[in-house]
Amino acid sequence: MPGGFTMVYETSEEVSILNATHRIMIHPNNINLAELLDWGYSTHGYLVDLPAGVIRIISHEPSGIPTTVKFGLGDGCVVATEQPLEWGWDGEYSPILENFILHDNCQINNLGYLPMIVKAAP
């Protein structure tokens, strides 16, 4: 993956918010923990081998290892998650997908978005 991180597949209904004031958690929707639980898997795993300077936003439980992070890369940034955000949106559990799409805090002038869907399981 960009930045050298690795995705570990381990489903869970439980997550914890590590950085409640991060822009992804508050703009344009204020996301609370109840919205992130019990999606019929709230997360499909966690992220390891993270680069220096990573911002941990949401963790996989019970491991406590991040499932959602942000880090700088080149002139931009990477926002990575193992959460099935489209499922959370479609099931009306949480509007966090909108926050990800509208995230614009990479401190570069010309933003480019490259959505990546990585199949984590057979």
Q: How many domains does the chain have?
A: 1
pLDDT at 105: 72
- What is the C-alpha to C-alpha distance for residues 112 and 3, in angstroms, rounded to an integer? 17
For 96-119, the pLDDT digits (tens) are 999 998 887 775 444 455 555 555
Whether 36 is in a domain gets the answer: yes
Whether 75 is in a domain gets the answer: yes
Whether 67 is in a domain gets the answer: yes
Whether 107 is in a domain gets the answer: no
For 18-73, the pLDDT digits (tens) are 999 999 999 999 999 999 999 999 999 999 999 999 999 999 999 999 999 999 88
Q: Are 9 and 45 in contact (CB under 8 A)?
A: yes
| DSSP state for residue 29 in the 8-state scheme | S
Whether 111 is in a domain gets the answer: no
Residue 120 has pLDDT above 90, yes or no: no
Residue 69 tokens, joined:
């992070």
Residue 83 has pLDDT above 70, yes or no: yes
Whether 56 is in a domain gets the answer: yes
Whether 16 is in a domain gets the answer: yes
pLDDT at 102: 86
The three-class DSSP label of residue 13 is: coil
Could you list the residue range(s) of the whole structural domain that residue 33 is in? 2-101
The three-class DSSP label of residue 88 is: helix
Q: Are 102 and 23 in contact (CB under 8 A)?
A: no
* Residue 117, number of CB atoms within 10 A of its CB: 7
Q: What is the pTM of this model?
A: 0.86
| DSSP strand pairing (66-73 vs 55-60) | antiparallel
pLDDT at 122: 46
